A and B are shown apart, each in its own frame.
With several copies, the nearest count.
Chain A
Amino acid sequence: MNASSVQELPHDLYIPPDALEVFLETFEGPLDLLLYLIRRQNLDILDIPIAEITRQYIQYVDLMQELRLELAAEYLVMAAMLAEIKSRMLLPRPPAAPEEEDVDPRAELIRRLQEYEQFKQAAEQLDTLPRMGRDLFPTLVSAPDCHPQQRLPEVGLRELLLALAEVMRRAKLSEHHHVRREHLSVRERMSEVLAQLSGERFRSFGELFPVDKGRPGVVVTFLALLELVRESLVELVQNEPFAPIYVRAR
């Protein structure tokens, strides 16, 4: 079947020179031209009549040269390769050839043609995918009252801890200032008491003790007050024994 189609190859190579130039420019290279020659004749890519295809290919290349089209070197490389395959296929096979000699000399060419055709098709499919700006349009609803904002930096606990470790290391103070958990809650309470006392008002001593935190709350507040007194941050005032005690920020 293939043999007959080769016999009947139309000798339709004559194309008006102007048209040929346009025609050749549509090829993406030697593989593309070869594929065209094969597909035009409905040939099986796995069984290329190499002599005929080579003849046609070289005719095109000659034409291109005659027309002094800028001919990419790749076209000539392919022509040489086709000629080599043709000559290998014409050589008689040695009767007891080792197995690798059995490989069809066209195999590499067929592999490349198939691979190229695969991506030629992929490119065509890519072109038919719905595309933004051609087939699809994003909504671009305006937001006139919105203004870009500067986002505030993020800080994690780990960064805070590393910063503290660093400053402590520098100050070599970590041994003197071993602050334990208990102390932190005392210091937190110190801040709260001071905040309550802002404005130099007298507050009754008892008023500073939270009723909702139970015994630990009372103890922590008491320790906080003692620490505040020791650091001269507050003063305690009692007018007479057993009279209410008042606290004031100094």
Chain B
Amino acid sequence: MQPNVKSIIEAALMAAGEALTIERLQGLFEAGEAPGREEVRRVIAELSADYARRGIEVREVAGGYRIQVRAELSPWLSRLWEEKPARYSRALLETLALIAYRQPITRGEIEQVRGVTVSTSIVRTLEERGWIRVVGRKDMPGRPAMYATTRAFLEHFNLRSLDNLPDLATLQDPDQAFLELDLRLPDEVDEEESTDVDPADHEEDERS
């Protein structure tokens, strides 16, 4: 076998155990021999096509690429390991969701939305898993830590970027709802509703 760019990139993605950026893939080659970004992308697209009928896939996550076993095969693959994957409590998932969607966010702000204290052990678990980290301190009394999610979070949840998080359900503003009800005349309501279609809202509804 003659090592070529494609076989080197494939082997690296298979052996790395984590997502690799294009720069890291280029860094495998001697200076002057590294393929350009476009060539790396082309090779990855070729690999993706090669795997179309197989149990693995190339996936773009957290700004890099990795080769992973397709989700359809998890019923078989999970028999490889005795230990069952960890299940996370609702408290942990809600805390993580708030950090993911509202970052940077303080513990106090999380508690405000959830209505209960955020236990220290949840924050510690999330930090130990490498999914969240302190990105700064809020300029207010006590200078509380502000949390944000990490690359490891994106990698674990198979996300390309935070933009790929599922859309949040849209909120109805109660004040707005009451005000509108009070101020509009009955015939105005009819007219406005027929014309005032916001396509953005519709898309969001369909997606969620």
A/B contact in complex, CB under 8 angstroms: yes
Task: Given A136-B71, A140-B16, A191-B149, verify A28-B90 contact (CB < 8 Å).
Answer: yes
A-side contacts of B78, CB under 8 Å: 134, 146-149
Please report which residues of chain B, range 64-94, place their CB below 8 angstroms from some CB of chain A when the two chains form the complex.
66-71, 74, 77-88, 90-91, 93-94
Tell me, in angstroms, the Cα distance from A111 to B178 when the chains sit together. 13
Q: Is A7 on the interface with B (CB-CB < 8 A)?
A: no
Q: Which of A102, A136, A173, A180 contacts B169 (CB 8 A)?
A: A180
Do B115 and A165 touch (CB < 8 A)? Answer: no
Name the CB-closest residue of B to A121. Answer: B169
Main secondary structure of the interface of B (DSSP, over half): mixed
Chain B, interface size: which category?
Answer: 35 or more
Closest chain B CB from A134 CB (angstroms): 4
Q: Is A21 on the interface with B (CB-CB < 8 A)?
A: no
Task: Given A28-B94, A126-B100, A143-B77, verify A136-B69 contact (CB < 8 Å).
Answer: yes
Task: Given A121-B169, A136-B69, A191-B149, verify A78-B93 contact (CB < 8 Å).
Answer: no
B-side contacts of A129, CB under 8 Å: 157-159, 166
Tell me, in angstroms, the Cα distance from A99 to B108 when the chains sit together. 32
Q: Is A110 on the interface with B (CB-CB < 8 A)?
A: yes
Do B82 and A167 touch (CB < 8 A)? Answer: no
Tell me, in angstroms, the Cα distance from A122 to B85 when the chains sit together. 21
Closest chain A CB from B134 CB (angstroms): 8
B-side contacts of A178, CB under 8 Å: 168-169
Q: Is B139 on the interface with A (CB-CB < 8 A)?
A: yes
Closest chain B CB from A130 CB (angstroms): 5
Do B85 and A133 touch (CB < 8 A)? Answer: yes
Do B94 and A167 touch (CB < 8 A)? Answer: yes
Q: Is A185 on the interface with B (CB-CB < 8 A)?
A: yes
Please report which residues of chain B, range 91-109, place their CB below 8 angstroms from some CB of chain A when the two chains form the complex.
91, 93-94, 96-98, 100-104
Tell me, in angstroms, the Cα distance from A111 to B176 when the chains sit together. 11
Q: Is B177 on the interface with A (CB-CB < 8 A)?
A: yes
Q: Is A151 on the interface with B (CB-CB < 8 A)?
A: yes
Do B97 and A122 touch (CB < 8 A)? Answer: yes
Tell me, in angstroms, the Cα distance from A118 to B87 when the chains sit together. 21
A-side contacts of B101, CB under 8 Å: 119, 122, 164, 179, 184, 187
Do A163 and B94 touch (CB < 8 A)? Answer: yes
Q: Mark B13-28, 1 if CB is under 8 A from A, else 0.
A: 1111110000000000
Q: Is B124 on the interface with A (CB-CB < 8 A)?
A: no
Do B93 and A155 touch (CB < 8 A)? Answer: yes
Closest chain A CB from B95 CB (angstroms): 8
Q: Which of B82, B91, B162, B175 contacts A185 (CB 8 A)?
A: B162
Q: Mark B130-150, 1 if CB is under 8 A from A, else 0.
A: 000101111110000010110
Tell me, in angstroms, the Cα distance from A195 to B175 when the chains sit together. 34
Task: Given A119-B114, A140-B14, A194-B148, verify A114-B166 contact (CB < 8 Å).
Answer: no
Q: Is A213 on the interface with B (CB-CB < 8 A)?
A: yes
Q: Is B3 on the interface with A (CB-CB < 8 A)?
A: no
Q: Which of B74, B168, B174 contacts A146 (CB 8 A)?
A: B74
Task: Given A132-B156, A152-B129, A197-B136, verify A145-B71 contact (CB < 8 Å).
Answer: yes
A-side contacts of B1, CB under 8 Å: none
Tell me, in angstroms, the Cα distance from A143 to B149 when the chains sit together. 31
- Please name 19 pairs of A and B residues whose Cβ atoms are closer than 8 Å in the assembled complex, sorted by A: A28-B91, A31-B114, A111-B171, A118-B168, A118-B169, A125-B166, A132-B68, A133-B156, A141-B56, A147-B78, A159-B93, A160-B100, A163-B93, A168-B113, A168-B168, A185-B161, A187-B103, A187-B162, A233-B138
